[in-house]
């Protein structure tokens, strides 16, 4: 296999593009998982009014695209300077991006916002690991 070298600018571009698409996808899957655990997790999610799982997954994907992109853009200076970012920066970016989106686009389930913000932080830590595994971010 060839050893391909990416500049930090290329790393930042790919990081934002991949994160903006992959994090909403994983958020939709997590949302579906929480819906399947209903009624135990009903307090965590906004009321859906009996909509189907597919529509709920698409709604979660669309809603989470904004915080994923904002968080990725917030991590861009770290990638431009160092070629990577730490797990703590990833978690903070995920939580802050989620909270910004929750303020701009309020959720009906206010009791679940802290848990969902925690999950957003975990998603960004996982996204960092994925980007390091595929060679976008430096180890």
pLDDT range class, residue 1, cuts 50, 70, 90: low
Q: What are 21-66's pLDDT values in tens digits?
A: 999 999 999 888 888 887 787 777 777 667 788 888 888 899 899 9
- Please report, for residues 13, 64, 71, the alpha-carbon distance to residue 17 in angstroms, rounded to integers and kept in the order given: 6, 14, 12
Q: Mean of the per-residue pLDDT values for the chain?
A: 89
Domain ranges, ordered by start, for the chain:
8-133
* Torsional class of 50: left (φ above 0), alpha (ψ -120 to 50), beta (otherwise): left
| 115-134 residues labelled b (16+ CB within 10 A) or e (exposed) | ebbebbbbbbbbbbebbeee
Q: What are 61-91's pLDDT values in tens digits?
A: 998 999 999 999 999 999 999 999 999 999 9
pLDDT at 113 over 60: yes
> Dihedral through CA 99, CA 88, CA 32, CA 42, nearest 10?
-50
> Which pairs count as long-range contacts for 97-101, CB under 8 Å and 24+ apart, including other chains?
97/67, 97/68, 97/70, 97/71, 98/67, 98/71, 100/67, 100/70, 101/63, 101/64, 101/66, 101/67, 101/70
């Amino acid at each position: 296999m060839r050893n391909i070298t990416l500049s930090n600018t290329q790393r930042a571009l790919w990081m934002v593009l991949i994160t903006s698409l992959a994090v909403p996808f994983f958020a939709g899957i997590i949302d579906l998982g929480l819906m399947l655990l209903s009624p135990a997790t009903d307090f965590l999610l906004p009321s859906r009014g009996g909509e189907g799982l597919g529509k709920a997954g698409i709604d979660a994907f669309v809603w989470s695209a904004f915080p994923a992109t904002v968080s990725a853009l917030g991590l861009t200076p770290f990638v431009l300077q160092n070629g990577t970012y730490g797990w703590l920066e990833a978690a903070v970016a995920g939580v802050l991006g989620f909270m910004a989106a929750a303020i701009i686009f309020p959720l009906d389930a206010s009791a679940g916002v802290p848990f969902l913000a925690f999950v957003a932080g975990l998603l960004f830590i996982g996204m960092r690991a994925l980007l390091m595994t595929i060679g976008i971010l430096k180890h």
